[in-house]
Amino acid sequence: MREGSADLHIHTHCSDGLHSPREIVEMAARAGLSWMAVTDHDSIAGLSEARGEAARRGIGFVDGVELSVEFRGQDFHILGYAFDPQDAGLQELLAEVVISRMRRSEKIVRRLHGLGVNLRIEDVHVQVGESGLVGRPHVAEALVSGGWVQSFPEAFARYLGKDAPAYVAKDPIAPSRALGVIRAAGGVPVLAHPGAYHLSDSWRIFLKEGLQGLETVHPKHTPDAVAGFQRLATKHHLVATGGSDFHGRGTAEVPIGGIRIDARIVDEIYARKDNQE
């Protein structure tokens, strides 16, 4: 049985985090974590470096990813744990996302041009990490670097937020596909930060399509919400995960290990994985 504490929701610069995989592991070590997972958005490019550094430092490591999906007009995030990173289906899905996001960023830049902001797509690419996966945070960084706005929040408020004039929606991925890909790769799919959504009956449909866990502990969840999601997880025999959702982009952000769970949850994740093989 695994001992100690775990943070199973951490981002690196391979998606929209600020720090490298190696730096993330260094932070986890300083926080005294026994186990950790890197869960970059729609990317697994940072796993190899993070896994190697974790092994060097004696920290248990769980391969992770956070897939963005859309259902009934609402965005959801599905965390995947303990999958095979070399799985062909997973690789294919992530390659599609890279192309889709590149096209989206080009559309955003064109909209910015229409607003008198002559940002170059090359300026955006400079901000992208090793994964090549471009997102709105990279456009925001380019806007700050180019002097078009003074801050990251201003970039979203004026141009990139959902109600802002340069916003472009992502190409939707169905939850059924994301859940199926994670499970086919031998992984365990978990609904991320359920308190951030208007769930209605959506999560019950996700259950039927293969959802195996619920992220009960998260910075956006109040103590009452945590208790409620724990009850839901118990009732529906779901693994209850949690973590800091660290990106490194704000002083008010919860640090790595600032929210942690019992490392025995890692046992439960691998038990789910073993039972489906």
Mean pLDDT, contiguous 10-residue spans, the chain (277 residues): 91 90 97 97 95 97 96 93 98 93 94 95 82 82 93 93 92 93 97 90 89 97 96 96 92 90 96 74
Give me the pLDDT at residue 273, please: 79
**Residue in 225, 221, 191, 188 with CA at minimum distance from that of residue 205:** 191
Give me the pLDDT at residue 134, please: 87
Whether residue 236 is found in the same domain as residue 135? no
Whether residue 138 is found in the same domain as residue 206? no
Give me the pLDDT at residue 61, please: 98
HSE at residue 102, side-chain half, CA atoms within 13 A, is 11
Please give the structure tokens belonging to residue 148.
Answer: 């078009």
Q: Where are the alpha helices (DSSP H) in the chain?
A: 21-30, 47-57, 88-114, 121-125, 136-145, 152-155, 175-184, 202-208, 223-235, 264-276
Give me the pLDDT at residue 129, please: 61
Q: What is the domain extent for residue 40?
A: 5-86+172-276
Q: How many CB atoms lie within 10 A of CB 65?
A: 29
For residue 165, is it within any domain?
no
Tell me, what CATH number does 31's domain have? 3.20.20.140
Give me the pLDDT at residue 1, please: 66
Instruction: Let me know: does 6 contact 28? Beta carbons within 8 Å.
Output: no
**Residue in 105, 86, 96 with CA at minimum distance from that of residue 178:** 96
Give me the pLDDT at residue 276, please: 65
Give me the pLDDT at residue 125, please: 87
Tell me, what CATH number does 151's domain have? 1.10.150
